[in-house]
Chain A
């Protein structure tokens, strides 16, 4: 595996091996010395053409715990904001000897363009491209679900997951639908019809417009952020109405199955798609997702740059 651009690049055993590697690496993160020497002397560039503090910091921490040198290259104040093309940026990174580029970009397919071009030769990790995919987020979500609810097996067979919100524009949803279904979970997408893409019938998921009818039957409720710009673009009448039908509040949380968990990729709009009480409740694993994100991203970099998965049980 050279790049991670889409969950579709992975087969089931590769996905599970990333999760298993992350489990091993998580033990390192729990130790007193958090660092492994694996990627010493390797250079990883975080190319962030779109603001994202949380994902960038997570990848940065992951790379540093593997002893890689990290260069942060973000939109504001860089040549990217001065109209430099992706090609020129890529060739600059190549000239600097980047072994891997972690790219966050507002254009769908930007990571694949970088990987397919001859502009640079390093590995490309998609850290979110437009409204396409966010594979590392899906992997950390699957990791979190497995840790909490896994039935002892390595996959997610038997679990039901609801993904709720703006599916149309969500790269988190696209990656999660592919990954969670590949791992055996049953995925239900819950959204107003305006926020579901035409062509969704071909996805390995079922669709519902009725959050209340779905909520008692799922093991995981994954809430998606509602972007500010959707408010003014006729997708729903107003924020209050959205919240009434598709927000996760304490009343709805009370209908959840015993042991079911609440997830959110962040950043949250408290009071809109999720109430503060739910976000801070015992069911919420939202901050744990952040913690797990570092281990999973370590595993991704490990698999791409150290040439394979970490053997379970090795150290």
Chain B
């Protein structure tokens, strides 16, 4: 028998059982207690936990158009560093991903980078303008096989456009991922509307501007019997609406970002735009509601909303700064800190919320597979006992707008395997793919 490509010895599976995982020819060749064969690379997994490779349903890779902020390659590297084996490239590029040509370009760039799968998300409307439907069918039939559509960055505000989009995607089992933000209620808005915005004199962004759209859209999804996904839920009120909709049997899923599980609006007191994000950081009670909802499954998944921006877009006055923060390289650590170390979730649930369920929602069949013999070897090995300190000068992303600079975080992503090949070994990116 030829030696295995990799052997991860004595690693904990999500359920806590120990195993030796042998990887060969792109699959998990065996998963056993006491692997007897040879292996080319042997990894000590004794302090580590293995999870199916992380899947992000919400990533801004900025290419084409803003390659100074991020490229498909640099974002793929950041993803591999963070333990991801699949990313979903949001459509708000320049040009917008509203045609088969653009989504195929992004898909091809992902394949060329070769560090993980990049699944393009198509725009719902042409130019993200919220008026006319984009070429949804052509994108679905393209090489990129787009199933998730979103105008993220903008809300599909017109209820008739939203209704038609929800109906149209039923043709091929698609999904509309809504950025829930009433644009009229948020003209010029800068941060969560409340005690802190009142003090700072920054224009408020009311929770109701998010919740009103969620409420409308779950009713629309119910009416036309289609699939709705709510991007980056941030409010306790939004959680209540999703809970109600699910109880009623509406086909809705929801995501929360790592930063909304940890950070709160009082950080704006520094006027440092590294904390400026859309949707905005909310209050402590919202954070607790989001954590509980993620734990009980009301919120289905964690998605990063990784949003790179060049230095000058953040090194300015708050109201002039761009919205968004980096997320890929810190996501797992933030989830461990907020959900695992607090006792709200175990690693089985982390695997579900960060891999299995996002893969199912996106229709990414080669991802989120159980760690069993024969599965495609997309997996991540993390060391939850180690801590690390975030340094914005050392991030892999092309941008450095992380809100965690200087934070000590638990959980080190040690090894990432994509289709049986290590993209990250001992915390170091390997030289595969388009490197």
Contact = CB atoms under 8 A, between A and B. Distances in A.
A107 B196 CA distance: 16
A108 interface: yes
A133 B199 CA distance: 9
A108 B318 contact: yes
Given A85-B312, A197-B204, A198-B204, A109 B317 contact: yes
A113 B196 CA distance: 17
A130 B197 contact: no
B22 to A, nearest CB: 52
Interface in A60-117: 85-87, 105, 107-110, 112-113, 116
A274 B100 CA distance: 62
A315 interface: no
Contact of A113 (B190, B312, B317): B317
B219 interface: no
A131 B191 CA distance: 14
Interface string B188-205: 001001111111111110
Given A108-B271, A109-B271, A197-B204, A202 B198 contact: yes
Nearest to A174: B201
A203 to B, nearest CB: 7
Contacts of B206: 198
B391 interface: no
A87 B319 contact: no
Given A85-B316, A87-B316, A130-B319, A108 B202 contact: yes
B320 interface: yes
Contacts of B193: 198-199
Contact of A86 (B194, B199, B316): B316
A48 to B, nearest CB: 15
A314 B196 CA distance: 42
A105 B204 contact: no
Interface string B261-281: 000000000111000000000
Contact of A107 (B199, B312, B315, B320): B320
A297 interface: no
B366 to A, nearest CB: 45
B198 A199 contact: yes
A107 B195 contact: no
Given A113-B318, A116-B272, A131 B201 contact: yes
A171 interface: yes
Interface residues of B, number: 24
A199 B316 contact: no
Nearest to A178: B199
A197 B200 contact: no
Contact of B201 (A85, A87, A133): A133
A109 B316 contact: no
A171 B202 CA distance: 11
A171 B198 CA distance: 11
Contacts, number: 77
Contacts of B320: 107
Contacts of B198: 197-200, 202-203
B318 A107 contact: yes
B315 A130 contact: no
Contacts of B318: 107-109, 113
A171 B201 contact: yes
Nearest to B315: A87
A132 B195 CA distance: 13
Interface in A196-220: 197-203
Interface string A112-129: 110010000000000001
Contact of A199 (B197, B271, B272): B197
- Give the interface centre of B198, B202, B312, B317 by most chain A CB atoms within 10 Å: B317
Contacts of B203: 131
Contact of A109 (B200, B204, B315): B200
A246 B4 CA distance: 81
Interface in A156-177: 169, 171, 174
Interface in A180-199: 197-199
Nearest to A130: B201
A86 B319 CA distance: 12
A197 B195 CA distance: 9
A198 B201 contact: no
Nearest to B206: A198
- Give the interface centre of A109, A133, A199 by most chain B CB atoms within 10 Å: A109
- Give the interface centre of A110, A116, A169, A203 by most chain B CB atoms within 10 Å: A110
Contacts of B194: 198-199
Contacts of A105: 317
Interface in B195-221: 195-204, 206
A90 to B, nearest CB: 11
Contacts of B312: 85
A107 B204 contact: no
A189 to B, nearest CB: 11
A35 B190 CA distance: 44
Nearest to B271: A109
B201 A116 contact: no
A110 B204 contact: no
Contacts of B202: 108-109, 130-132
A174 B199 contact: yes
- Give the interface centre of B198, B312, B316 by most chain A CB atoms within 10 Å: B198
A214 B200 CA distance: 27
B201 A132 contact: yes
Contacts of B319: 107-109, 130
B199 A199 contact: yes
- Give the interface centre of B201, B271, B312, B316 by most chain A CB atoms within 10 Å: B201
A132 B271 CA distance: 11
Contact of B195 (A85, A86, A133, A199): A199
Contact of A85 (B190, B200, B271, B315): B315
B118 to A, nearest CB: 33
A109 B272 CA distance: 9
Interface string B178-195: 000000000000100111
A116 B315 contact: no
Contacts of A109: 200-202, 271, 317-319
- Give the interface centre of B200, B204, B206, B270 by most chain A CB atoms within 10 Å: B200
A222 to B, nearest CB: 18
A277 B351 CA distance: 73
A245 B271 CA distance: 36
Contacts of B272: 113, 116
6 contacts: A108-B318, A108-B319, A131-B202, A174-B199, A198-B204, A199-B194
| 9 nearest CB pairs, A to B | A109-B271, A132-B201, A199-B198, A107-B317, A131-B201, A197-B198, A199-B195, A108-B201, A202-B195
Given A132-B200, A198-B206, 12 more contacts: A85-B315, A107-B320, A108-B201, A109-B271, A109-B319, A116-B271, A129-B201, A197-B204, A198-B204, A199-B193, A199-B197, A199-B199
